[in-house]
Amino acid sequence: MPFFFFGTLMDRDVLEIVLGRPVAQGKLAPALLRGYRRVCTAMQPYPMLKPDPDGVVDGMLLMEPSRRDVARIRHFEDEEYVERATMVHSASGRTLEARVFFALAGMGETEEPWSPDRWASRHKSVFLRQCHEWMRDCPI
């Protein structure tokens, strides 16, 4: 089952650190998640999904993740997000089930929209260094 990324894992540099390998061009595909909007968490410069019947969140699908990919992504998301299977819409219009990470209640929600571009300009350089540290203790 593919993963739907709506936050920092949409960034190829972050994703490649988390996976510990380059990501082939055809393995990522644009997709939409309906019924939510992407907002900033209160505690960190990370995004979270907030239910919104009129909302649509753009993101990326990681198609055909390996067992190793799944383990590394779960390690990365472990303490602050929980994984749930959710229906998403591919750019080709196909509806499919994907793994999506939802923020735990302790992250605290805000009303401020989370922007990938704003995150990259303000936080990406520090975040990339942190990713290397977080993934260092991944068992796989």
- Residue 91 has a pLDDT of 87
Cβ proximity of 98 and 86 under 8 Å: yes
The answer to whether residue 139 scores a pLDDT higher than 90 is no
- Residue 88 has a pLDDT of 98
Domain boundaries along the sequence of the chain = 3-136
Mean pLDDT of 66-94: 94
Rounded to 5°, the CA angle 133-122-63 comes to 60
- Residue 43 has a pLDDT of 81
- Model confidence pLDDT, tens digit, residues 16-27: 999 999 998 889
- Residue 104 has a pLDDT of 92
Q: Which of 124, 100, 117 is nearest to 31 (CA)?
A: 100
- Residue 105 has a pLDDT of 86
- Model confidence pLDDT, tens digit, residues 100-127: 999 998 889 899 999 999 999 999 999 9
- Residue 121 has a pLDDT of 96
> Measured between alpha carbons, how far is 43 from 75 in angstroms, rounded to an integer?
20
Which tokens hold the place of 37? 């909007």
- Model confidence pLDDT, tens digit, residues 44-75: 888 999 999 999 999 999 999 999 999 999 99
Does the domain at residues 3-136 carry the CATH identifier 3.10.490.10? Answer: yes
pTM: 0.94
